[in-house]
Amino acid sequence: MTYNLIILGDIGFNQIAGNRIRALTKYLPENVKIFFFLFGKAPEKTFYHLNGEVVFFDIPVSRIPIIKRFKLQHQFAQQILEYRDFNPKKTIFLYSSPPTYLAPTLKILGKKYKTILDIRDIYQEWTHHPRLKRKLETYEQIKTMKAVDCITYSHPGFEPFLKRDKAKKLKFLTNGADSEIFYLNGPKRVLSNPEKIIVVYAGGIDKYHEAEIWVEIFNQLDNNKFHLIFVGYGNGLKTIKKRANAKNISFFGKTTQLILAEFIRSADYTVASGSNKHLDHYKVGIPTKIFESLLCGTPVIASNGASVEQMAKNNPFITNFQDKNVDQMIKHFKTLEKTTEEDRIKITQSAQIFDFKNTAIKFNEILNLILLQ
């Protein structure tokens, strides 16, 4: 049976479904017709990375204050409903993002169509708004979770929070990486110091990722044995560069996923970190870079708190320092050796469960079950 999967997104917040859902659409069968309905002014560049028909709605959702945004839910939904009359028996609307941007629109669309709310982060906006708005967000979020036909989530740690808010119809859909980009025997970067233990940090460089912890560590490690490469960008980049010892820390900046994969394959280890400061208010998922690293055959050292802890227990190639003890982390680094090719093969094999090709099979099963309800 041919059916439509329509994914809502917001250009202004760059919330175009998230890497996981975008990648999964790439591997869905041909009988799934995919649309991306994006709110905001259409940019000059083409969204070449989206695997489906792209439709723009010229409503700047990201610039509308949150309280007013909730009041305009019906306007957003009406624009969508007027665009095309899809067959309700063969159409699913999906929104994948923090729940307070466009998610409430699903309640209205759900009166006619099947709907999915894909949870990427729990209560991500709570710390950014006054208490009045926070109450409104929570109220709307719970109403949305009760209204949709299915809630998919990517981290086992989310489930207690979802059940607490009486969310039903939960489906676990693991996060992961695209194995057509991140794989073992692919191109590598030509590095000037391959005899050293090469460590790569890939991702955002800001207060939420706490990348400065790696500068603090590597400033105290042997320059002749270790080299740290930052592949990323963010508003904390200038600060980190000032603190870094230029002899064993270098910076590459923002890049494509293909080049990022080359850096990861060339590394002996990758490092990942994240803030625990707001964990009383929300839970964040496992950094995508961990999955990308494992599929490339590179072990991971994480300082990411509770979100990575369970995964580290189940995978011997992830070392997680939950308490972020810098002295202990330095001692650990001093025991490291270069990663062997034999280990890389084992690491890649351990990560096959996180291959989006496999996750897409489960995703397609969920979509078909919803249509049959």
Common-topology check for domains 3-176+355-372 and 197-354:
yes
Is it the case that residue 121 has pLDDT exceeding 90? Answer: no
The band of 370, judged by pLDDT with boundaries at 50, 70 and 90, is: very high
User: What are the structural domain ranges in the chain?
Assistant: 3-176+355-372, 197-354
Would you report the helix, strand and coil content of the chain in percent, each value rounded to 5?
40, 20, 40
Give the tens place of pLDDT for each residue, 158-192. 676 666 655 568 888 888 899 999 999 999 998 87
Which amino acid type is present at position 97? S
What is the rounded distance in angstroms from the CA atom of residue 5 to the CA atom of residue 3?
7
Closest CA to 300 of 219, 365, 203: 203
Topology of domain 197-354 in CATH is: Rossmann fold (3.40.50)
Contacts of 207 (CB under 8 A, 6+ apart): 236, 275
Whether the per-residue pLDDT at 280 is higher than 70: the answer is no
pLDDT band at 311 (very low <50, low <70, confident <90, very high): confident
Residue 280: CB atoms within 10 Å: 9
Sign of CA dihedral 120, 123, 128, 132: positive
Residue 125 has pLDDT above 50, yes or no: no
Tokens representing residue 89 in the block: 């028996």
Strand partners, 232: 203
CATH code linked to domain 3-176+355-372 = 3.40.50.2000
Q: How many CB atoms neighbour CB 26 within 10 A? A: 16
- Name the 3-class secondary structure at 258: helix
Q: How far apart are CA 23 and CA 214, in angstroms?
A: 29
